Amino acid sequence: MKKTLLNLLFVSLFITHLSSFSQENSDKKVIKIKKEKLFVKAAFDDTEFKVIAFDRYGNPHEQAIKSFSIVYQEGKTSYQAPVEGNTFPQKTVDFLTKKKKLATKICLTNLKAEDKDGHVEDLPDLCNIVIFPDCKKVNKTK
């Protein structure tokens, strides 16, 4: 009886030992998680001179844009003005619409949007935005 128990114990240890080597380590699977961005793009509202962010579902978020830079070129000189918030400063709007006689092509770069949790995301640049000067009243001649 003693020998049978000893043999049974030996066989069970042997089977347990073999089963521990039966798992293959080469087939380990890795799960990669990619954080999806909430905001996909931005658009320029030329009536109120503000920038609006759009999420991946197409919903507008007016207060999401926290900062951006306005870049425009005049002759060979390039100008850049950083802006905090989503609205153009009144000084910039007056310059682009009242002091200039020709349309100005601007580019909005370094667009930063903030979601409701406080995470800041970079948005793609908006280029080829044309801002036209204010029209002047023309006197009709008879």
More confident residue, 50 or 99: 50
What pTM, to 2 d.p., does this model score? 0.67
Length of the chain counted residue by residue: 142
Label residue 72 by pLDDT band (50, 70, 90): confident
Report pLDDT for 46.
86
Residue 86's alpha-carbon distances to 26, 93, 132, in angstroms, are 52, 13, 20
pLDDT higher than threshold 90 for residue 111: yes
Q: Which of 129, 132, 12, 122 is nearest to 65 (CA)?
A: 122
Euclidean distance between CA atoms 132 and 87, whole angstroms: 17
